[in-house]
Amino acid sequence: MRELALTRGQTLAEALQRVPGLRTIQTGPSIVKPVIHGMHSNRVLIYNAGVRQEGQQWGSEHAPEVDPFVASRLTVVKGAASVMYGSDAVGGVILVEPEALDYRPGLRGRVESVLMSNNGLGALSATAEGARPQGLLGYRVQLSTRQAANARVPGYYLKNTGFQEYNGSATVGFTKNAFAAELYASTFNSRLGIFEGAHIGNTTDLLAAIERPEPLVKGDFSYAIGRPYQLIGHHLVRAAAHYELPRLGKLHLRYSYQRNNREEYDLVRQAYENEYQLRFNLTTQALDTYLDHRPLGGLRGKVGVSAQHQQNYYDGRYLIPFFTNRSLGAFATERWSRGHLELEAGARYDARHMQARLREVPTDQRSPEIRPQFSYGQLTGTVGAAYQLPAGWRLSAGAARGWRPPAINELFSQGVHHGSARFEQGDRSLREESTFNLYGGVTKKSERLSGELNVYHNRLNNYIYLRPGTEAVLTVRGAFLAYQYVQVDAALYGTDATASYRVADWLTATASYSAVRAYNRETGRHLELIPADRTAAALRLTLPTWRGLADNALSLRVEHTARQWRVRDDQDFAPPPAAYTLCHLDASTEAHLLGRPVALSLSVYNLFNTTYRDYLNAFRYFAPEVGRNVALRLTVPFGQSPAASSTP
Amino acid sequence: MTFAFSRPASLLAPALLALGLLGSCSKDETPLPAVRENELITSMRLKFVNQASTTDVRLATCKDLDGQGGNPPVIDPITLQANTVYTLTVDAVLNETSTTSEDVTPEIVREATNHLFVYKPTGAPLTVVVTDKDSQGLPFGLQARATTAGPGSGSLRVVLRHQVGTKDGTETPGSTDFDTTFPVTIR
């Protein structure tokens, strides 16, 4: 997992950017969310350590509450297999998987440290694991922290963009014969500064900020975090067990409890020291069971059921109501192969019942309490086929039908969105969104050439999106544009392509391209906030062992992101930013210190300190993206059998 | 109230409830939190006192009781005498809900070094000059002098800027706490 090692210290979404078709949506330099094929937030599921991550993921400025140091593997799931994870994975599923417990006796571990030049980031993660001599009981403890000061764009610092993160996890496992059980607990705690220059009052303020070439207030190199900021805690406990049933297969059972607490501190007049303006508290419990059955006449697969209960509270300013969510799902996914042909199919049924509690007019104290209820239930299905051709070629194609119930914010949000001068209005009459996805691809694997080309066409009916307003809502604070959640029929399609060619034993050249198109099928206009086309090329050199330095590699990446010119000027406050080209450099080696392999790497992001803005950053109106960043990473293993523990 | 039912789900919904899924037995009766709109200003009143005749007082209010969104604010027109000098005061800044009314003026005064009232007459023969200062010697604007010339009409835009740690006497830094335009007639 060398690729993952080179992302340590970055956020989950940044680490995922190396996967073809994955991009990010940002709110300033520290709040980053993954985008799969143009979709994000409510349409992307994240499974953290086998549990469906339930935070307030509807918000584009609510980053996933996941510690990337936990991951030994990051996987993006599309196609039939995604049926196992839930219906609303319209965009896809991201699996953040910790290393499997190691039941070999002894105590071992590693310390990973990262330093970054741009924002003075320091990250440290320590993992210790071991097992009892009999090998029945295994355990792992992991602690990590990330601390950063203000981010620097070419020329100046962005005030109040530092963050602090403290995370930890512990696992205990027991295994004997056909039975295995595991208890996992993790905690994620983060304080995230929000760029002060993005704190604006109304549309006039926003337009004035857009006009300014640079923010009025600049920061300096400081770790201090002031208002506005977010304070987030996410705590998870998961108990899982599996048992090998004779003749039937492996039966898995999993229960999880997670609690998400999000507090938002605005820059306001009545800013008393520790008082938040808005707090959400979401508790989710889930019970899943599935059977990984023995091959049945050539069929391999899984069948299972899952149930979930969720309760949300808020305090302070109204944005979304109290709600209780109950859902129940059942799925089956099967795979069959003979000779060169492989077929797969999956089906899933989900039912969800939601009750909200709110005042009829949320901003009026005397308004009566109402409890609207919503029930949804639909079928998800996928079919796929793959055919293996000679010389390492492989063809694949599939179709999937999916759906997603409207999310709480889409139904109920009502209020001013800070930093964007917009008044967001939900709609309680929204219906389920449904998707029909066709995809196909070619992959090639051979000694010298490897690569893949994928295309997809996603037809969405009742696609829910926040339509930018053109009419102003007049308030005593001035004018705000009214943004409304609406449903349209849309089509999202695109391609991801990547090819690698081994020019010589020591040199590999890689090129990749990804593009998404998203149209409102009713008006023919392109949708807002869709990533622009990206083309990348990389050269990777592997160098011979030199003076005890092994595994030497050097790679240079050039990345060109086009301008999103498909969005018309009247669809935004400012025209989409210009195209940009960035260069990144990675160098890694492994040295032997006191008989232990110590991994060392140096990365330089934005090598030429290019000034650019990205269309998918909500703060593109106020400031450019961060400048050059040099990252130094060091991983030191300790304890018994270090060689084994350094390779996940 | 809105209900969105799709057929198969409506059959399943009672079954779901009956299942008493995972912890649903705990009664959820946490009361809804009190309505809190942070630093919302619902009303602002301007008072013009004729410096030549202090019994000549003119008031104009901008009121938006349902807060941001909903109904637009109700704004009184300002009528002033021609060729007159008035003392202009922002005499009430209120945060009203249907049940309470809180005067936030003292708070703004206490945080005068973080606030600035800006007056922008357009069209009307009217000039407004801020006369008060905060403790740092920078203009504040709760008090001003409004001078009218010959008859005419136009508007007066009043903006309250919130400038935490960035106040420099100009309108530019910070964010807007309120921004209202009153119609003005001078006769």
Distances, alpha carbon A288 to alpha carbons A185, A279, A379, B22, in Å: 17, 29, 18, 12
ipTM exceeding the 0.85 mark: no
Q: Higher confidence at residue B28 or residue A480?
A: A480
The pLDDT of residue B28 is: 55
Ranges under pLDDT 70 in chain A: 1-2, 79-81, 269-273, 418-420, 470, 641-648
In chain B, what residues touch A282 (CB-CB under 8 Å)? none
For residue A248, the cross-strand partners are none
DSSP letter (8 states) at residue A50: T
| SS3 per-residue string spanning A102-134 | CCCCEEEEEEEEEEECCCCCEEEEEEEEEECCC
User: Is B12 inside a domain boundary?
Assistant: no
Supply A241's token pair: 């067990």
Kindly report the nearest CA distance between residue B53 and chain A, in angstroms.
31
Mutate to test the interface with A, among B179, B181, B182 (most CBs of A within 10 A): B179
The 10s digit of each residue's pLDDT in A254-309 is 999 999 999 999 877 665 567 888 899 999 999 999 999 999 888 999 999 999 99
* A20 preceded by a cis bond (ω within 30 of 0): no
| SS3 per-residue string spanning A67-109 | CHHHCCEEEEECCHHHHHCCCCCCCEEEEEECCCCCCCCEEEE
CA-to-CA distance for A361 and B32, rounded, in angstroms? 13
Q: Does residue B4 register a pLDDT over 50? A: no
The 10s digit of each residue's pLDDT in B81-117 is 999 999 999 988 888 765 678 888 888 998 899 999 9
CA-to-CA distance for A453 and A440, rounded, in angstroms? 8
Number of A–B residue contacts, CB under 8 Å: 190
In chain B, what residues touch A473 (CB-CB under 8 Å)? 68-69, 72
Using the structure block, give the residue that is written with the tokens 């009143």: B45
Whole-prediction pTM: 0.90
Domains in chain B: how many in total? Answer: 1
User: Is B87 inside a domain boundary?
Assistant: yes
The pLDDT of residue A79 is: 64
Domain that holds residue B159: 43-186
| SS3 per-residue string spanning A365-423 | CCCCEECCEEEEEEEEEEEEEEEECHHHEEEEEEEEEEEECCCHHHHHCEEEECCCCEE
Q: Does residue B22 register a pLDDT over 80? A: no
For B94, the closest chain A residue by CA position comes to A476
| SS3 per-residue string spanning chain B | CCCCCCHHHHHHHHHHHHCCCCCCCCCCCCCCCCCCCCCCCCEEEEEEEECCCCCCEEEEEEECCCCCCCCCCEECCEEECCCCEEEEEEEEEEEECCCCEEECHHHHHHCHHHEEEEEEEECCCEEEEECCECCCCCECCCEEEEEECCCEEEEEEEEEEECCCCCCCCCCCCEEEEEEEEEEEEC
Interchain contact, A326 vs B179, CB within 8 Å: no
The pLDDT of residue A50 is: 93
The pLDDT of residue B164 is: 84
Sign of the C-alpha dihedral computed for residues A80, A12, A191 and A62 taken in this order: negative
Give me the residue from A326, A363, A477 closest to B24, CB to CB. Answer: A326
Q: Which residues of B, range 15-34, sit inside 8 Å of A by Cβ?
A: 16-17, 19, 21-24, 28, 30, 32-34
The pLDDT of residue A643 is: 43
Count CB atoms within 10 A of the CB of residue A19: 18
User: Is B136 inside a domain boundary?
Assistant: yes
* Greatest Cα pair distance in chain B: 79
Sign of the C-alpha dihedral computed for residues A58, A61, A67 and A73 taken in this order: positive
Q: Does residue B67 register a pLDDT over 80? A: no
Give me the residue from A287, A375, A475 closest to B5, CB to CB. Answer: A375
Mutate to test the interface with B, among A353, A461, A476, A622 (most CBs of B within 10 A): A476
Q: Domain boundaries in chain A?
A: 2-645
User: Is B82 inside a domain boundary?
Assistant: yes
CATH of the domain at B78: 2.60.40
Kindly report the nearest CA distance between residue B159 and chain A, in angstroms.
8
For B34, the closest chain A residue by CA position comes to A365
Instruction: Give yes or no for a contact between A531 and A35, defined as CB atoms under 8 angstroms apart.
Output: yes
Q: In chain B, pLDDT over 90 holds for what percent of residues?
A: 51
For residue B101, the cross-strand partners are B96
Report chain B's C-alpha Rg in angstroms: 24
A189: CB partners within 8 A, 6+ apart: A165, A166, A167, A232, A233, A234
The 10s digit of each residue's pLDDT in B136-163 is 999 999 999 999 998 999 999 999 998 8
Sequence length of chain B is 187
For B45, the closest chain A residue by CA position comes to A476
The pLDDT of residue A210 is: 87
The pLDDT of residue B40 is: 72
User: Is B37 inside a domain boundary?
Assistant: no
**CA end-to-end distance (rounded Å), chain B:** 52
Mutate to test the interface with A, among B3, B7, B10, B36 (most CBs of A within 10 A): B36
CATH architecture of A2-645: Beta Barrel (2.40)
Kindly report the nearest CA distance between residue A630 and chain B, in angstroms.
32
The 10s digit of each residue's pLDDT in A487-510 is 999 999 999 999 999 999 999 999
Q: Does residue B15 register a pLDDT over 80? A: no
